Amino acid sequence: MSYSRWSNSRWYTFWSSMGGSQTEYKFPTEKLKRSQVFEICDIPSYHITYGDLVDRSRSAVLHEIEEHFSADFEWHGLKSVDGKLEPDKTEIIKGRRPTWEELNELQNYFARFIRDVDEHFRPWNFFLYEWYYPTRNKIHRTIKKLIWKHL
C-alpha cells in the first residue's frame, strides 16, 4: 500500500513486506503487528516498525529521519561481468535536509500507516485478508490449472 508518490511528493512511502513481517496464515499477535514496517524508499531507504512509531515520540523519529536524509551516502554500483555482478564504481550521493513542510507531510503518512495496520489487525479483517482470500485464491488457481490442463 502506497501512501505517497514521487510525482507530487519528495517521499515515496509504503507498508513494506521487508523484515520478515509476513502475515499470511499467521495469527494477529501483538508481536506480529508491532513488526510491520513503514518504508521511505529513497537512496538510501529508511525503515521503521509500527512498534517504534507508536512507542517513540514523533519529534525523535522525525529528527532521526532528518539526520538520515541529510547525510551523504556512499553508493556502490555493480556491473555484469561474464554473468556475475561485480563492483563497478562508488559514488557519493549528497544528502538533502528535508524541509519542515516535507517532515510535516511525512507525519500524515505515519498516521495513515498506523491506522491501516490497526484496521488490518482487527480479528475479522485479519482473518479475511490473511486466511480467507489466500485460500480462496489458491483454490481458484488450482481449478483454473485443472481446467486448462484438460482443454
Structural domain of 92: 13-124
Residue 118 domain flag? yes
Angle at CA of residue 109, ends 25 and 105, nearest 5°? 170
Q: What is the pLDDT of residue 19?
A: 64
Count how many domains the chain has. 1
What are the CA-CA distances from residue 104 to residues 98, 131, 151 (Å)?
10, 36, 57
d(CA 145, CA 13): 36
Q: What is the pLDDT of residue 74?
A: 86
pLDDT by residue, tens only, the chain of 151 residues:
678 776 788 999 999 877 666 899 999 999 999 999 999 998 889 999 999 999 999 999 999 999 999 999 888 778 888 888 887 888 888 999 999 999 999 999 999 999 999 999 999 999 999 999 999 999 999 999 998 887 7
d(CA 28, CA 24): 10
Residue with cell 520478515: 20
pTM of the model: 0.83
Measured between its terminal Cα atoms, the distance across the chain in Å is 37
Residue 83 domain flag? yes
Residue 97 domain flag? yes
Residue 104 domain flag? yes
